[in-house]
Structure 1
Amino acid sequence: MKTGIVKDKRYLEHRTGDFHPETHKRLKVIYEMLEEVDMAGKFVEVPVRRAERDELLMIHSGRYVDLVAATDGKPHCSLDPDTSTSPGSYEAALLAAGGLCQAISMVISGELDNAFALVRPPGHHAERDRAMGFCLFNNVAIGARYAKESHNLKRILIVDWDLHHGNGTQHSFEEDDSILYFSTHQYPFYPGSGAFEQAGKGKGEGFTVNVPLPAGYGDGEYLEIFEKILKPVALEFEPELILVSAGIDIYMDDPLGGMRVTPGGFAGLTRSVMDISNECCDGKFVITLEGGYNLQGLSDSVKEILKEMAGLATIDKGLILGRADQNRLDRLIKHVARVHGGSWKGLIASP
């Protein structure tokens, strides 16, 4: 497999302060892992570019883009109680969105089989007109709209397994039936959105699938949700491209989370998405990094994801599924089917 990676030292120039969880050290440990003997030379580096203003405006307002641009070179600007900038933050944010768009282009064109954008700042909380939850520009939303407008794709699936609900991504597409947003997230938790019944609006009704979870879900439960809920919906939707907002904050020892996913569990989720993409869209999928704040867990989990993507390893999904708590899952799947069974036929039979 030709797996691309988006990496650039300028992403480390977004400095959030010594005690902020979304630190530049997150990418530092990942980039160091890529130099290990079993990883070095195994991936294609994607040429990084800045996002164009017109690309940002597909998701964000001009006023907001100007607000973030005005922070360029300034020592410290607070955009949100959790979100601030440093002199290099605007440049990093442009490169994060632009790097993801470049990876998407290379996967759509067939230059790459798949790709992982190892970028920061993250993006899925960023709204049309404001920063939020460590995020400046909504990278995955910009990438999805870019794929539609620049490559004439008709249907795109966004899978968000971050610990936190991607409120900005949902709001970007909740009235759009061409971009399906699927999210698993700890609930109730920051940012407070993502209930089962938030299922889209107007012609986009049914095209937002939220799976809110209590704390304590691990590898087996997550993979079963992907196999029993995501897969039937995705196969019916038939996306031409799959984008993944990969939050590593569902890792078992993440300081901000309460989930129990191991590095092997991340490999299982990746394999599940790969299997879906192989059935729907010739294997075309691109991952972008969102959260994840345990540095060792972040490095170990990204490593397992990349090994799966590149065909360096193949996880046995059956072994992971055997560890799932079926009682908890049956109730959950039935709830999703009650909300979405009228939109997606495959969910009716799943419970």
Structure 2
Amino acid sequence: MKFGYREACLDHNTGPRHPESADRLRAIRRALTDRHGVSYVAADDTTRENVLGVHDEDYVDELAAFCEDGGGDWDADTVAVPETWDAVMASAGLAEWAAERALAGDDGRQTPFSIGRPPGHHAVEDDAMGFCFFNNAAVAAQTVIDSGDAERVAIFDWDVHHGNGTQDIFFDRGDVFYTSIHEESLYPGTGHLDETGTGDGAGTTLNVPLPPGTSHTAYLAALEEVLRPAIENFDPDLLLISAGFDAHEHDPISRMRVSTEGYGLLTESVRDIADDAGAALGFILEGGYGLDTLSESVRMVHEVFDGYRPARDADATPRDSARDVIEQAKDLDVPGL
């Protein structure tokens, strides 16, 4: 794979005990050392104009001034320093690079994966939250739509937390399909089954909130039975994966049970869905806070694109509680279901 990476993202210093630290990117880089086919691209920063495509101007100005004045605690979870401004512009630029390169035809072993930080999927139009300042996936999607490189973009968020910011930004839009599989009732408490969009965006939001303890078996069932038909019906030009790895069974801040091999299976599935939908495919890093599990999982994504075939358990079935949610999702008023 091609990995988008910028040293500026390391300078966003959240402090010694914060789970979203620069060590996350360092661990990923170490795990990819000497892996066949890995290359890095130092993509350009995003622009203020592109950020304003999805974020309120007053908020952007406030964040810039906050960083320039030395930063501090934006809220209880979200920390900034002067260097944070450069990091958020770099991280959003890396996400744009992933979207643009995917649409330019980079696929297979050249599939783009942006490993920027801070992450983005909790950032709403006019506020930062949940470690996120600018919504990287949303900036990327809006940028390629505005440039005319894509007419329709689908975003699949497999982070353990619901991407409330991405959903909110596109909730009334018909040209971006947002779908998420996440742990129910976890921060930020959004992403319910009945949140399916409004206005022009009616039917372009799809959430599958699974119960704690769910393994990749249910994720795969939800992908094939719910997300696949909805995404294929939407017919996107581009499928972006908001790729958080905090649903891993050993991640310190979630209760889900996705294995490293399970992330390989998820990668196979989204690759197949993109191929069948005729969509370009790009990955954008979100969460994942166990350094070993994060780095192993990103390496697994790379290995799948390098030819590895993760093992499937043909006899595995979702737990009844997860199956109930999947069946409810199949009855939602979303085209394709």
TM-score (norm 1): 0.91
* Aligned residue pairs, count: 335
Q: Which amino acid aligns with 1:291?
A: G
Residues 93-138 of structure 1: CA deviation (Å, up to 9, x unaligned): 0000011112221221125552110110000000111100000100
Task: Give, in whole Å, the separation in 2 of the partners of 1:324 and 1:68.
Answer: 46
SS in 1 for 2:79: strand
Residues 189-216 of structure 1: CA deviation (Å, up to 9, x unaligned): 2111111001100121111001111100
What is the aligned partner in structure 1 of residue 300 from structure 2? 304
What is the aligned partner in structure 1 of residue 135 from structure 2? 138
Q: CA deviation at 1:187?
A: 1.2
What is the aligned partner in structure 1 of residue 169 from structure 2? 172
Task: Give, in whole Å, the separation in 2 of the partners of 1:91 and 1:175.
Answer: 30
Structure 1 residue 323 corresponds to structure 2 residue 316: yes
> Pick from 92, 98, 101: which aligns with 2:87?
92
Q: Would the aligned equivalents of 1:219 and 1:320 in 2 still touch at CA under 8 Å?
A: no
Question: Are the structure 2 counterparts of residues 120 and 223 from structure 1 closer, same or farther at C-alpha, using a change threshold of 3 Å?
Answer: same
Task: Give, in whole Å, the separation in 2 of the partners of 1:223 and 1:26.
Answer: 26
Structure 1 residue 285 corresponds to structure 2 residue 281: yes
Q: Which amino acid aligns with 1:139?
A: N
Structure 1 residue 261 corresponds to structure 2 residue 254: no
Q: CA deviation at 1:143?
A: 0.6
SS in 1 for 2:208: strand
Question: Are the structure 2 counterparts of residues 320 and 231 from structure 1 closer, same or farther at C-alpha, using a change threshold of 3 Å?
Answer: farther
Residues 10-50 of structure 1: CA deviation (Å, up to 9, x unaligned): 21111101111111111110011121x3x15x133223211
Q: Would the aligned equivalents of 2:247 and 2:256 in 1 still touch at CA under 8 Å?
A: yes
Q: Would the aligned equivalents of 1:72 and 1:91 in 2 still touch at CA under 8 Å?
A: no
Q: Which amino acid aligns with 2:307?
A: L
Q: Which amino acid aligns with 2:259?
A: T
Sequence identity (%) = 35
Q: Which segments of 5 or more consecutive residues in structure 2 lack a partner in the other structure?
A: none
More moved, 76-85 vs 15-24: 76-85
Structure 1 residue 216 corresponds to structure 2 residue 213: yes
Task: Give, in whole Å, the separation in 2 of the partners of 1:23 and 1:93.
Answer: 14
Q: Which amino acid aligns with 2:290?
A: N
Q: Which segments of 5 or more consecutive residues in structure 1 lack a partner in the other structure?
A: none
Task: Give, in whole Å, the separation in 1 of the partners of 2:284 and 2:313.
Answer: 24
Q: CA deviation at 1:328?
A: 3.3
What is the aligned partner in structure 2 of residue 109 from structure 1? 104
Q: Would the aligned equivalents of 2:221 and 2:318 in 1 still touch at CA under 8 Å?
A: no
What is the aligned partner in structure 2 of residue 66 from structure 1? 61
Q: Which amino acid aligns with 1:124?
A: H
Structure 1 stretches (4+) deviating beyond 6 angstroms?
none
What is the aligned partner in structure 2 of residue 51 from structure 1? 46
Residues 45-75 of structure 1: CA deviation (Å, up to 9, x unaligned): 2232111011000010111111121234554
Q: Would the aligned equivalents of 2:6 and 2:42 in 1 still touch at CA under 8 Å?
A: no
Task: Give, in whole Å, the separation in 1 of the partners of 2:315 and 2:186.
Answer: 28
Q: Would the aligned equivalents of 1:93 and 1:121 in 2 still touch at CA under 8 Å?
A: yes
Q: CA deviation at 1:5?
A: 0.6
Q: CA deviation at 1:180?
A: 0.5
What is the aligned partner in structure 2 of residue 198 from structure 1? 195
SS in 1 for 2:224: helix
What do you get for the CA RMSD once the two structures are aligned?
Answer: 1.6
Task: Give, in whole Å, the separation in 2 of the partners of 1:142 and 1:157.
Answer: 13
Q: CA deviation at 1:326?
A: 5.3
What is the aligned partner in structure 1 of residue 6 from structure 2? 8
Q: Would the aligned equivalents of 2:155 and 2:239 in 1 still touch at CA under 8 Å?
A: yes
Q: CA deviation at 1:266?
A: 0.6
Task: Give, in whole Å, the separation in 1 of the partners of 2:285 and 2:195.
Answer: 24
TM-score (norm 2): 0.95
Q: CA deviation at 1:262?
A: 0.8
Task: Give, in whole Å, the separation in 1 of the partners of 2:315 and 2:204.
Answer: 30
Q: CA deviation at 1:92?
A: 0.6
What is the aligned partner in structure 1 of residue 152 from structure 2? 155
